[in-house]
Amino acid sequence: MRKLFLAAAIGAACLMAQSPHDAPSPPVELSQAEQDSLRQALGEAGNSPVDFLRAIETHLGKYPESPRKLELERAAIKTAADLKDDDRVIKYGELVLEKEQDDAQILERVTTALLRKGDKAGVERALKYAKHFQDLLQTAGAEKAGSAREELKLREGMDRANARALMLQARAEGLLEHLQKASDDAELSFSVYPSVEAARESARWLAAKGKTEDAIRYLAKAFTIAELKAPDPEAARDRAKIGELYKKWKGSETGLGDLILQAYDQTSAAFSARRDQLKRLDPNSDAQDPMQFTISGVMGDKLPLASLKGKVIVMDFWATWCGPCRMQHPLYEEVKTKFKDRDDVTFLAIDTDEDRTIVKSFLEQAQWSQKVYFEDGLSQLLQVSSIPTTVIFNKKGEVASRMNGFLPDRFVEMLSDRIREALNEPHTPTIASK
């Protein structure tokens, strides 16, 4: 449950397990009449999100105590959000929050919708929800991940979520004319995770307080972040606003270029520092090529794959729970024996278990070699979607071949031939792998 909450808090989990346009299959506890009514209503809605939402509302009006009420209300929230229907996001979101007040994603959706509407009573509720959202994030902050890569993703996600919660609080405080608190929260949001949105929010409330110079500097940061990242259609508006505020402050744009360059340098340094911090947590965070990876061994050693350039590398992706992997293991050992005198061929056993703590004891019990490495993100980069999978690299560090699964009676010969191909040596042709 804890991990499910975290996924929701940093935006990695869906609001519903199914698409809102897929009619949920009625469970057995529904009466036959309600089952028929729900099927008919959702069937008539087809693929139209507007009709789907209307069908949900009609059904809930007809069956206000439906056993599926909560599920249908969640579907209504998701569909209303897709339609940018803030009124219904608020209506159904607050109904769900009455029953499940710790649903982080719905808290964020409802808060955002209330702030867009902007009426005082709604903004006051939004502030309450935003504070509760951040409280949940703080409580969840003690959650520990397994690998360094998982820790990296968790920390990055939590930083983003905390910054988002602070920014929502800043907007609510500002709309309630608590300008000092608004600017403080917005600047804190930017310090937690520098983003275009947090920079703009800081500038908005600093300008409202009359802090023109500080507002300009934050707008310059928003402008430079947008330029450092993907093109942002709002960047031109930021640039125009900077010029407007700067001329109001100084009388002309003389000197504005230096200020923007200074903001660029500061923002670039902040992003560089964050990248360095993440790199210390996960040396593979920026790796786009397998040979840029450093993988960690079961015994705590580190292996930079770049150090194996000039060799054919055979990677065996496996897991302790995988029966076919255990069947394949002695066949791998047979192939390794064939190439034991070759210093230009290296075999790497790459474990993909989520729980790394069980691997060492498994190796000891099975009496397998302790020379095993964890995948550390390689599976995703190489799109290893099933195991066992064998990936063979040539001496240039390029993928030369891959074998998904294995044929027990042909594996030794097939893998040996693939290795010789990578070595550019003649071999006896074999049938293609699966």
Query: Which residue out of 9, 170, 325, 345 is catalytically annotated?
Result: 325
> How many helices (H) does the chain have, and how many strands (E)?
17, 7
For 43, phi then psi, to 5°, come to -65, -40
| CA–CA separation, 278 and 286 (whole Å) | 9
Active site residue 14: no
Q: Which of 184, 133, 190 is nearest to 163 (CA)?
A: 190
Q: 3-class SS at 144?
A: coil
Measured in whole angstroms, the distance separating CA 77 from the mean position of its chain's CA atoms is 22
Rounded to whole angstroms, how far apart are CA atoms 204 and 196?
12
Instruction: Report the amino acid identity of residue 144.
Output: K
Is 322 labeled as catalytic in the residue annotation? yes
Instruction: Report the greatest alpha carbon distance in the chain.
Output: 83
Integer Cα distance of 149 and 287 in angstroms:
12
CA atoms within 13 A on the CB side of 142: 3
> Measuring CA to CA, which residue among 316, 305, 299 is closest to residue 388?
316
Residue 25: other Cβ atoms inside 10 A: 9
Active-site residue, selected from the candidate residues 145, 188, 208, 322: 322
Whether 351 and 257 have beta carbons less than 8 Å apart is answered as no
Question: How many angstroms separate the CA atoms of 385 and 383, rounded?
Answer: 6
**R_g of the chain, CA atoms, integer Å:** 28
Cis peptide before 49 (omega within 30 of 0): no
Where does 316-401 have alpha helices with state H? 323-338, 359-366, 378-381
Query: What is d(CA 185, CA 173) in angstroms, rounded to the nearest whole number?
Result: 9
For the record, the structure tokens of 108 come out as 């964020």
Residues 6 or more apart from 1 whose CB is under 8 A from it? none
- Residues annotated as part of the active site: 322, 325
